[in-house]
Structures are given as structure tokens and as C-alpha cells.
Amino acid sequence: MEENVNIAEGPQRPEIITTNTDTSPPRGNPFPIVGIGASAGGLEAFTELLSALPLDTGMSFVLVQHLDPVHESLLPELLAAHSRMPVLTVHDGMEVEPNCVYVIPPNTSMELVDGSLGLVAREQGVHLPIDIFFRSLAAVQGSRAIGVVLSGNASDGSVGVRDIKAECGITFAQNEVTARFGGMPRNAVATGAVDYVLTPAEIARELAALAKHPFLIPSRPGDAQSETLPEGETALRRIFTLLHKTTRVDFSRYKPTTVRRRIGRRMMVHRIDTLGEYTHYVEHHPAELQELYRDLLISVTSFFRDPEAFEALMQLIVSALTSGGNTEEPVRVWVPGCATGEEVYSLAICLYEVLKDNRRPVPLQLFGTDISEVALDRARHGIYPAGVEEDITPERLRRFFTKVDSGYQINKVIRESCVFARHDVTKDPPFSKLDLVSCRNILIYLDQTAQRHVLPVFHYALKPNGLLLLGSAESTGAAADLFLPLDSPNKIYGRRGIAPRVPLDLALGGSALDTPSLLSASGSSAVELQKRFDRIIQSKYSPDAVVINAEFQILQFRGHTSEYLKPLPGQANPNVLSAARENLLLPLRRAVEEASETNAPARESGIEFQSSGQKMSITLEVTPVPGTEPGEKYFLLVFVPKVLASS
């Protein structure tokens, strides 16, 4: 008899309040709460920080120190001698007040719960009290959460600072040079979620300055739900224009309140009070556009988020697997807005377990996409801080992860089933023939117009019996006729069998068909451009090739390309991403984007596929070619095949 296993079960630990909804206004206390974490060398750093803090910041300070579990702590008494504020040892249910310092007691884990401090006994195993507190702080306080990581070994706090920044809070780390032990601040900074890297005394001075910022203080005193957001439509439109020019992403389609909140966070970091001043700052500091771009893309994610949804989803997939059909086809999954990859790897692990338990040795193909190259790079490496232990069972940690210096890395078997690539779901062609689309990081940030565009894209991408998984605060309301609720509490939907209605250009506002075609050029310009391509081909290749424009439209075919590109009847200038064979799609996109960004040839090697019963390997070479008009750019895509020896 087979044993029933809860495939999405997480480790037993103190419950942490989490959110995967839209970045929302603060929900806890109407004043900022500063969580300060440290381990070895923490007393010295705490002392320096507290000594430099004024009495009347209006903030609360909660110190989470790694303490000996069996000895009484003298930390409150030692710190009291250096603080202008009262220093108190926390007891369970203690209310938090401004201008006070609270210290965690030994042998406990601590959370912020509805504005008060809750204590539970320390669990066996790895103890990560800073991450536990920071995550609860982010969930309760939102943009009035502040996290500080001071001296200590290992990586406690690294997961928590990401959660705080995702909720529009502010984060600090001690300058590693000044820390007695640099592991914790170094690992926190490595997440990319730290706003300031300073000495403890400098952190204190920056906190005192932040306390005066209007976006950190409720617009209605005493109201924790009240907040002040940046105003100014003209300035906001200018920021959108600058972002679009720099990043190719149209943030005007994102929910206005979310965007303003994230911009307000950047304004706090730079101590700027008005949106007009911030717009001027952005125009003169291009690096700030990249920082704002990263802030706008931050999402709250973790391994096995919403375990009940994973459990329900796998049961539906098991049912589909056992109901017949082609058992040879791979299980194909797309996770748009995958951020740093936790959702993709979680699904891969669950599917691997399900397929193994049901003796279905079919391949897994998971595609994680995002518009943040920084996040995608982290996802591809599959390395996560030790704090992920809170979300993963010991059995899964042992089976699917390898311990490395900076935390844990997803093992090779799972990594090889996952492909990560840049993709903007609001304008780029979707994947196809998918069993599952898991979208739990996008819709909550998009306005209704964008949602009405994106949901049909998912419908088009799914197989007739495919599944759609959304986040707990999301729904198919913008396209309810396309999806059938299968499990409403867990936001799992089935694809309805109606005709797809995805725009052919897959773009919001504007069509790629409006782009001038190379073939429509006339006179000497067309002749000259033709000669440029011919010279490249004659000097470097005698290949199968295509010419595309900057919108990925195929303008010319050279040689025999049917092995690599599917015919798309009725399209004069088909999109190469729609035509590309499956294994070629992501490498092709990467190579074209690299060639476009570097203005130099790019290459993707080792792309394997089957052709006429033979195993082949392609090298794809992409060469950018300037057009005859200013700013005009084309690309020559050359396919170089190689027959692989039979095994």
C-alpha cells in the first residue's frame, strides 16, 4: 500500500505572517519599527549604534541578538548604559511604543503580531531569529519597517531584508570593514536588498534623518493605515518615459499606487521630499533609474509559498497523469514573473516527486521568465541563503539542495529541468503547449487594461486541459470567460475550450506590423543594405540564415531553415520567436538581446534537437547590422548544424 504524503508540507516552525498581495500600506503601528539583528560582535555594534541615536526619533528599536540558549542575558543592562531611551527585555504580548528599545530574551523566537511582540520557545535545529522577526516585521509594518544587519557570522537576516524591501521598507547593513565578524552583513548586501552600507554610528544618524521624512509618517496621526505618497502626474509620466527608454518596460501599465509607493521608497533613501525633485535627480543620475527599476520589480516570494495551493495543484496534476493521454510528452510549466526562481524550483521539486511516486519517468521542462536580468542571474545559479531552511523540509533540503559557503544550491537534476530567460509578458510572444502556468507575481502589480491583455496570453499558451495558478489576491476577473475555477480557495483554474484571442503582435498599444520592413525599402537604400548582408554572409558563412528586424520580424530567409523554424501560413513577416522550434526559442532570444545590447556578434552553442531521426546540435550566431536610417537595426541569424554521434 502506498503511503499518503503531503507533498507541499513545510518544516514545523513558528508561524510567520506573510503576504503575496500588492504592496500595501502599513498595517501595524503608526510609527516606524526598526529591527536590528546581530550575532558575534553584536554587543559592540549595538552599543555604537544606540550611543549615536537621539531620544526622540519617534521610532521603536527591537534588538534580535543570537544569545546562548541556557544562560541569562545581561544584554539589556549593558545596553542601557549607552542608550538615552529605555531598554526593555521582551515578554510575550508586550506592546511596542516609540522611543523605546526592546531586546529579545534567550532561547526564544520573536515575531511582531498586530503591533505587539510575541515569543515562542526556540525550535530544535538551525536557529534564525533575525529572519523570523524581519519577515514578520515586513508583513505587519509594510513601508514603516526598517531592517538593520550588524556584525555576525553566517547569513541570518538575508531572507528578512528581502522581505522588508519588497514591502517598501528600508534596509541597512554594517560596513563589513567595521564589523568584528562580517559574514551576516556581507550576505545581506549580496542579496541586493540593502539600501545603506554604513558604520553603526552612521546608521544611527541616517535613522534619525529618516524619522523626519513625510513618507514614513502617517498623514493622519495615530492612523496606521494612513500614508503619504508622491504627487505629480507630469513628473510621474516623465519618470515612466525615462524608465521605458532605459529598460524597455512600460511601467505606466502598473498599478499607480504601487508605483508611487516604490518611488516614495527611493525618495526616502535619498531624503527627497517632492516628486519633482526626484525626477530632476533621476534625470541627472542615470544609475538611480536602474535602482528604481530594481525596486519596481521586487516581489515577495519564497519556496513552497502557500503550501495548500501546492498540495491541491499536485493532486490535480496526478489526476491528469492517471487519466490517460500521451505519457511520453514532457510536463511543461511556465512561471512568468519568476523573480529569483524560488517558485520555479518549488514546482520542479514537487513535480519530480509526483512523477517519481507515480512511476512516470517523463521529462520536466520549466520556463522561468522575468524582466529583471539581475533576478534571472540569481535564479540560474540557484543559490539561496541559509534562511530558506524555514520554508523547506529537512528531507527536501537533503534531497534537492547542496550546502555551499553562502547557503544552499539547488542540485543539478532540478536545475537542468529549469530554463530562465528575460521575457515581458505584456508584449513578448508566449510559450505554447503548456500543462501549467503559475503566475503569482504579476497580476497584482498590473492595472485592469494590462490584465485584460495578459490573461488571454496565458489561455493561448495552455494545452486544452492546462492549468492556471494565481496568487491568493488575484483572479481571472479581467477574462473570466477564458478560465474555469477548479479550486477557488487555492486559485487554480482550468482552460476553457474557446478560441484564443491573443493579439498577433502581443503588444500593449501599438503593433510590430507598423515597423518598416527591410523588404519594403526601395532604391539605393535597399540595394546598399542588401550588399551589407551579402558581404557578411560571403565572408563568414555559407549557411542557413534569416534576417530579422528589431521587433523580431523575419524579413528574409536564406537557405533551408525549416529544420529550425516552423512555417506560419498567412503571415508576410512572421515573428521569429513564434516560428522558432522549441529548444531554439530561449537561446535565440538571449543571443539577439545580447547582440542588440552590446552591438557585437553573439553566439549560443550546443542547442540540441532531433531532425529526421538524427540527433543534431546547433550553434546560433547573431550579427547586428545597422540600417540605412538613424537608429535602424537588423540582425542576421545563422544556423550552424552538427550531427551528433549516436550513443
The backbone torsions φ and ψ at residue 392, rounded to the nearest 5 degrees and listed phi first, read -125, 135
The backbone torsions φ and ψ at residue 548, rounded to the nearest 5 degrees and listed phi first, read -125, 160
Nearest of 73, 167, 81 to residue 129 by alpha carbon: 73
Please report, for residues 206, 535, 621, the alpha-carbon distance to residue 573 in angstroms, rounded to integers and kept in the order given.
Answer: 56, 23, 21
Nearest of 142, 127, 105, 125 to residue 28 by alpha carbon: 142
* Spatial separation of the C-alpha atoms in residues 103 and 90, rounded to whole Å: 6
Determine contact, residues 55/120, Cβ cutoff 8 Å.
Answer: no
* Spatial separation of the C-alpha atoms in residues 156 and 541, rounded to whole Å: 54
Nearest of 209, 167, 212, 165 to residue 188 by alpha carbon: 165
Name the strands in the sheet holding 101-103, side by side, starting at the edge strand that comes first in the sequence.
Answer: 87-89, 101-103, 60-65, 33-38, 145-149, 170-174, 196-198
226 assigned to active site:
no
Q: How far is CA 311 from the centre of its chain?
A: 23
- Length of the chain as a residue count: 647
* Spatial separation of the C-alpha atoms in residues 130 and 112, rounded to whole Å: 12
Q: Tell me which DSSP letter residue 575 carries.
A: B
Residues whose CB is less than 8 angstroms from the CB of residue 405 and which lie 6 or more positions away in sequence, other chains included? none
Q: Are strands 60-65 and 33-38 parallel, antiparallel or unpaired?
A: parallel
Helix 158-166 with 129-141: angle, nearest 10 deg: 10
Please report, for residues 75, 212, 282, the alpha-carbon distance to residue 98 in angstroms, rounded to integers and kept in the order given.
Answer: 20, 14, 34
Sign of the C-alpha dihedral computed for residues 90, 96, 102 and 104 taken in this order:
positive
Start-end of H helices in 142-191: 158-166, 183-190
Determine contact, residues 347/311, Cβ cutoff 8 Å.
Answer: no
Half-sphere exposure of 41 (CA within 13 A, CB side): 18
Name the strands in the sheet holding 544-549, side by side, starting at the edge strand that comes first in the sequence.
Answer: 554-558, 544-549, 633-643, 614-626, 602-611
Q: Which of 66, 423, 453, 459 is catalytic?
A: 66
* Spatial separation of the C-alpha atoms in residues 330 and 38, rounded to whole Å: 47
66 assigned to active site:
yes
Terminus-to-terminus CA distance in the chain, angstroms? 38
Q: Which of 39, 60, 83, 143 is catalytic?
A: 39
Nearest of 347, 342, 330, 432 to residue 382 by alpha carbon: 342
39 assigned to active site:
yes
Q: Which of 131, 151, 156, 578 is catalytic?
A: 156
Residues involved in catalysis: 39, 66, 156
